[in-house]
Structure 1
Amino acid sequence: MPRSVAQRFPRADGAVPEARSFLGDVLEEWKVTDRSDDAVLCLSELAANAVRHGKQCGFLVEVLLDDERLRVEVYDAGAGAPRLARPSDDDTAGRGLLIVSSLADGWGVTPHDSCGKTVWTEFKTDESSTRVGVIRC
């Protein structure tokens, strides 16, 4: 059965750790363990971008689980679409989406005509790890 949950976060310093904690709690409740560390790290990068580049109204995190796919979405009302950077060895920023790209099975940006965009990332999961009471031999 597909599941989804969402929570809004302010555009504030403590929002990124709160978003990580939210996702960690959801994945624990749903018993998704095989990709949880990757998903939390990718959310951290996307949430940091939303805080850094979004608008004052904050951002929304939505988590969806359907069959063997976990999708984490971050919506913010900011303009522009994020894209992979090519930082030099001396750059101190610009690696967030490189991390997302290397850990996730897919990611992208969905622009919204009215305002803002959703940046999403997806992970293939072991379906059996999300079913309560299933025993594999």
Structure 2
Amino acid sequence: MPRSVAHRFPRADDAVPEARSFLGGVLEDWEITDRSDDAVLCLSELATNAIRHSTAPGGFLVEVSLDDELLRVEVHDTTDSTPRVRTPSTEDTDGRGLLIVTSLADGWGVKPHDSCGKTVWTEFKTSTGGLQGGAAPW
């Protein structure tokens, strides 16, 4: 049975660590341990991009879903800019986030919204361990 949970975060300094904690809690509740570190790191990169590149005060929404053994983590934000994988030089101090996502996730992409903003998603094939029922408490 598919599961889904979502939580909105403000555009604030502590939003990225809070988003990581939220996802970690969901994955723990769903007993997903094999890809949890990868998923949390990818979320961290996507949430950082949502905060860094947005000018709107609305924050971002994290949605996590599990269908069979496919974990999907989405970050919905209000900016229309399309993220792209960059090729930073050794002297660059940023620009590696989507390289990390590309190397860790089994897939990722961008879905523009008709009205405003976009969703950046990542997917992870996972074995769900002891997942038996119950949704996350969020």
Q: TM-score range by the shorter chain?
A: over 0.9
Question: Residue 20 of structure 2 corresponds to which residue in structure 1?
Answer: 20
> Residue 76 in 1 paired to residue 73 in 2?
no
TM-score (norm 2): 0.93
TM-score (norm 1): 0.94
Displacement of 1:53 after TM fit? 0.9
Structure 2 residue runs of 5 or longer lacking an equivalent are 134-138
Identity %: 74
Question: Residue 113 of structure 2 corresponds to which residue in structure 1?
Answer: 112
Amino acid at match of 1:39: A
Displacement of 1:132 after TM fit? 3.4
Displacement of 1:125 after TM fit? 0.3
Q: Using the alignment, how far apart are the partners of 1:110 and 1:38 within structure 2?
A: 21
Q: Using the alignment, how far apart are the partners of 2:39 and 2:61 within structure 1?
A: 16
Question: Residue 29 of structure 1 corresponds to which residue in structure 2?
Answer: 29
Would you identify which runs of 4 or more consecutive aligned residues in structure 1 move more than 4 Å?
A: none
1:30-67: CA deviations, max 9, x gaps?
00111000000000000000010122100000000000
Question: Residue 4 of structure 1 corresponds to which residue in structure 2?
Answer: 4
Larger mean Cα displacement after TM superposition, 51-60 or 22-31: 51-60
Instruction: Give the 5 Å matches for 1:58-137.
Output: 58-127=59-128, 129-132=129-132
Structure 1 residue runs of 5 or longer lacking an equivalent are none
Secondary structure in structure 2 of the residue aligned to 1:81: coil
Amino acid at match of 1:18: E
Question: Residue 43 of structure 1 corresponds to which residue in structure 2?
Answer: 43
1:61-100: CA deviations, max 9, x gaps?
0000000100000000012110000100100010000000
Amino acid at match of 1:69: L
Amino acid at match of 2:64: V
Q: Using the alignment, how far apart are the partners of 2:24 and 2:51 within structure 1?
A: 19
